[in-house]
Structure 1
Amino acid sequence: MTARGRTRGGRRLRGYLFVLPALAVYLAFAVLPALHTAYLSLFDWDGVTLGSWAGLDNYRRVFTDPALRGSVVNALVLVVFFALLPILAGLLLTALLARHRRPGMAGYRLLFMLPQVVPLVAVGVTWRWLYGEDGLVNEALDAVGLGGFTRAWLGDFDWALIAVGLVGTWVLSGLCMMLFLSGVHKVDPQLYEAARLDGAGPVREFVSVTLPQLRGELAVALTVTTVAALASFDIVYVTTGGGPGEETTVPGLLIYRLAFSAGKVGLASALGVVLSLLILVIVYLVNRLSRTPS
C-alpha cells in the first residue's frame, strides 16, 4: 500500500471513529427497538405471560379487522389537514409576506410559529374548550347569525375528525410558512427582476419563479407534516380520545390501547410495523418526486 493510500485509510478510520458514538446511540435507541417490535409482532403476547407463536396472523388482522383498518384510513384523512392544507396556507402566507418587506415581519413570524412552541397537550386542551358546546367557536357562529350550525364538534360523528384535523392545520401552517420564507431568501433576486421586466404580476411571479425554487422546502414540509399526520397521538388523545365511537381513532392511539389496555402487544407491534412501513413508503415517494431533474 502506498503512503497516499495509508493516509486516506487513516482519515477514513478517524471519520468512522467520530461517527461511532452517534451510530451506537442510534442503533441502541432506534434500530434495535424497531427490530424487537418486528419480532414481537410475530407473537400472541399480553406483555406479562409467555407468548405463543402467531406468525403473520397479527398482520392479517391489521388488514382485515375493520377497527384496525379504519384507524389507518383516519390517519390518511388527517394527511389532508396536517399536510396539504398547511402547505397551501404556508404558500399563501409566503406569497403575501415575501414579495415586499413589511414592518413587523418578526412579529408575524413569531405569531405563526407560536403553535410550534406550545406543547401539543396544551393545544389539545385549548381546542377542546374552543370546540365545546359553549365554546368560542359556537359563540362566534351565534354572533354572526349562524346558530343553526352550532354543535358539539368533537362529539359529532360527521365533524369530529374534521375538527381534529383543523387543529393540525392550525399547528403546522406556521412551520410550513417559516420553511418557505427561508427558501425564498435564497432565490436569486435577478430572477424576480427578469420576471418583472417581462411583465409578470405577483401571481405569475410566484408561480413561475418562487414556487420552482422551493422544491426542496416543499419536500421537507410534506415529509414532516405527513409523518405528523400518520403518527398523530397527542392531539387526538387529548381532544376526543378516539371518539365518538371510533371516528377519530388513529393508529398511534390504537397501538397504545392494544398494548397497555387490551394486553395485545403482538397485535399492537404489527400495527406499529405497518404504520412505520407506510410512513417510509410515503417519505420515499416524496423524496423521489422532489428530486431536481438532471
Structure 2
Amino acid sequence: MTVPVSPRPPTDRSLRRLRRLRSGWPAYLFLLPALLLVAYFSYFPAYLAVTRAFTDWDGLNVGGFTGLENFRRAVTDPVMGEATRNMLVWVALGLVLALVPPLLVAELIFHLRGRRRQYAYRTLFVAPIVIPSLVLLLVWGTFYRSDGLINTLLSAVGLGGWRHDWLSDPGTALYSLIFLGFPYVDAFSLLLLYAGLQNIPQDVFEAARLDGATGWRRVARVDLPLLRPQLGLIALLSVIGNMQYFVSPLVLTSGGPGFATTVPALLMYTTATRSGEYGYAMAVAVLLMVAVALLTAASRLMSRRAS
C-alpha cells in the first residue's frame, strides 16, 4: 500500500510571486494587447526568417528543406565576402562619426555661457531631425555628381585636379556614402552626451580646476571617464545600425559600381526582391542577426567588467 505524499508547502518566494501577480493583474491585462502586437509584428517575422532560411523559399510558396545549403552559399559567396568587407569599413568609420562629432559639439555647447545660448545652439543642431532622411540622400546625390557642388567648390578654390565623379569610382564610392552629410551631427547622440555632461556634479569640475585639469585635459581625464555609459550606448547602437543599414547604397548607387558599395543588408534585400531567392536572403538575415546578438552580448559583458 502506497502512502500518499503531501504536496510541498509553497515557499516564501513563491508566495511573494503569487501576491505580486494577483495584485498586478490589471497592469498585465493592459500590457497584453501591446505584447501581442510586438509578438506578431516583431518576433513572428524573425521566427519565419530563421525557419525559412533552411528552405528554397521563393517568397510565396515554401520550398523543400535544403539544410545548411543557404548558409554554405553565403559563407563561400565572393559577393558576400566583398559586402562583408564593405560593412566592416562602414562600421569602423561610422563608429568614429557617431562618437567624435557629437562629443565635440556637446562639449562646445556645454561650455557656452548662458542657458539661453546653450538652448539655442542645441535646437539648431537638433532641428534637422525633422527633415526626411531621403531628402538628405537625394540632395547629397546631386552634390557628388561631376557637375555637383563639391566639384564646383574644388574648382573655385584652385583644386580642380581633385574633381571626381565620386559615386561612380569604385575607390571613392563607399567612402562617399559613409561621409554623406558630414559634418552632420546625430541629434540623439548629441542630446545623450549633453545630458551626461549636465549630470556631472559641479564639485567634480571645481576639483578638476583646482588640480589644473582644464580645457582638453579636463575632457580627457574627467568628462570621458564619466561619459563612458553614454559613449558605450552610442557605440553599440552605431555598430548595430551600420551593420543593418542599406538605404543610401540602395538609393544612390544600387550597390555599385560593381559591388563597391554592396553591404550584406543590401545583398539580402536585392536577392529577395529582384531574384526571388527569399530562402538565401533569410540565411543572410540570420547571419546578420547572430552577429548583432554576439556583439551585443560582448558589449554587455565588457561593460559589466568595466564597472
Whether TM exceeds 0.5 here: the answer is yes
Question: 2:95·2:238 contact (CA, 8 Å) conserved in 1?
Answer: yes
1:31 pairs, out of 43, 49, 61, with: 43
Are the aligned partners of 1:153 and 1:159 in contact in 2 as well (CA < 8 Å)?
yes
Provide the C-alpha distance between the structure 2 equivalents of 1:172 and 1:286, rounded to a whole number of angstroms.
24
Give the direction of change, closer, same or farther, for the CA distance of 1:171–1:273 in structure 2 (3 Å limit).
Answer: farther
- Aligned positions of 1:107-256 closer than 5 A: 107-167=120-180, 170-171=183-184, 173-256=186-269
Offset, 1:179: 1.6
* CA-to-aligned-CA distance 1:201-220 (integer Å, 9 cap, x gap): 21121112111111221122
Q: Stretches of 4+ moved more than 6 A in 1? A: none
For the pair shown, the structure with the greater C-alpha radius of gyration is: 2
1:115 and 1:171 in contact (8 A); partners too:
no
- Name which of 22, 37, 57 aligns with 1:45: 57
Q: Secondary structure at the match of 2:106?
A: helix
The Cα of 1:194 is off from its aligned counterpart by: 0.4
| Rounded Cα–Cα distance in structure 1 between residues aligned with 2:294 and 2:179 | 25
Task: Rate the CA distance shift 1:293–1:253 in 2: closer, same or farther, 3 A.
Answer: closer
Gaps in structure 1 of 5+ consecutive residues: none
What is residue 4 of structure 2 aligned with on the other side? Answer: none
Q: Please, which of 253, 272, 280 is the counterpart of residue 267 of structure 1?
A: 280
Q: What aligned pairs does 1:86-101 form with structure 2 within 5 A after superposition? A: 86-101=98-113
Instruction: Give the aligned partner of residue 19 of structure 1.
Output: 31
C-alpha deviations, 1:42-61, integer Å up to 9, x for none? Answer: 01122244512111110111
- Counterpart of 1:259 in 2: which secondary structure? helix
Cα separation, 1, equivalents of 2:134 and 2:246:
10
Distance in 2 between residues matched to 1:291 and 1:188, nearest whole Å: 24
Separation (CA, whole Å) in 2 of partners of 1:164 and 1:22: 37
Q: Please say if residues 110 and 118 of structure 2, whose CA atoms lie closer than 8 Å, have aligned partners that are also in contact.
A: no
For 1:249-282, what per-residue CA distance to the aligned partner results, in whole angstroms no more than 9, with x for missing partners?
1122211111111011000000011111112222
Q: For residue 56 of structure 1, what is the aligned residue in structure 2? A: 68
Which segments of 5 or more consecutive residues in structure 2 lack a partner in the other structure?
Answer: 1-9
Asked if structure 1 preserves the Cα contact closer than 8 Å seen for 2:109 and 2:122, the reply is: no
What's the RMSD between the two structures over aligned residues? Answer: 2.2
Contact 2:59 2:276 in 1 (8 A): yes
Measured in 1, the distance between the counterparts of 2:169 and 2:296 equals 32
Q: Which letter maps to 2:160? A: G
The alpha-carbon distance between structure 1 residues 105 and 125, as it changes in their structure 2 partners (threshold 3 A), is same
Distance 1:114 1:246 in 2: 35
In 2, are the aligned partners of 1:242 and 1:248 still within 8 Å (CA)? yes
> Greater CA deviation, 88-97 or 33-42?
88-97
With 96-105 and 33-42 compared, the bigger mean Cα shift is at 96-105
Shift of 1:115: 4.2
Q: Secondary structure of the residue that 1:132 maps to in structure 2?
A: coil
Of residues 166-175 and 228-237 in structure 1, the stretch that sits farther from structure 2 once superposed is 166-175
SS in 2 for 1:34: helix
* Counterpart position of 2:301: 288
**Alpha-carbon distance change, 276 to 132 in structure 1, aligned in 2, over 3 angstroms:** same
What letter matches 1:272 in structure 2?
A
Name the SS of the counterpart of 1:279 in structure 2. Answer: helix
Give the number of aligned pairs: 293
User: Aligned-pair distance for 1:11?
Assistant: 2.4
Q: TM-score scaled to structure 1, two decimals? A: 0.91
Identity value in percent: 34
- 1:38 and 1:252, CA in 2 relative to 1: closer, same or farther beyond 3 A? same
Contact 2:125 2:185 in 1 (8 A): no
Does residue 72 in structure 1 map to residue 84 in structure 2? Answer: yes
Give, in angstroms, the shift of residue 14 of structure 1: 4.2
Distance 1:9 1:257 in 2: 47
Task: Return 202-211 or 4-13, whichever deviates more.
Answer: 4-13
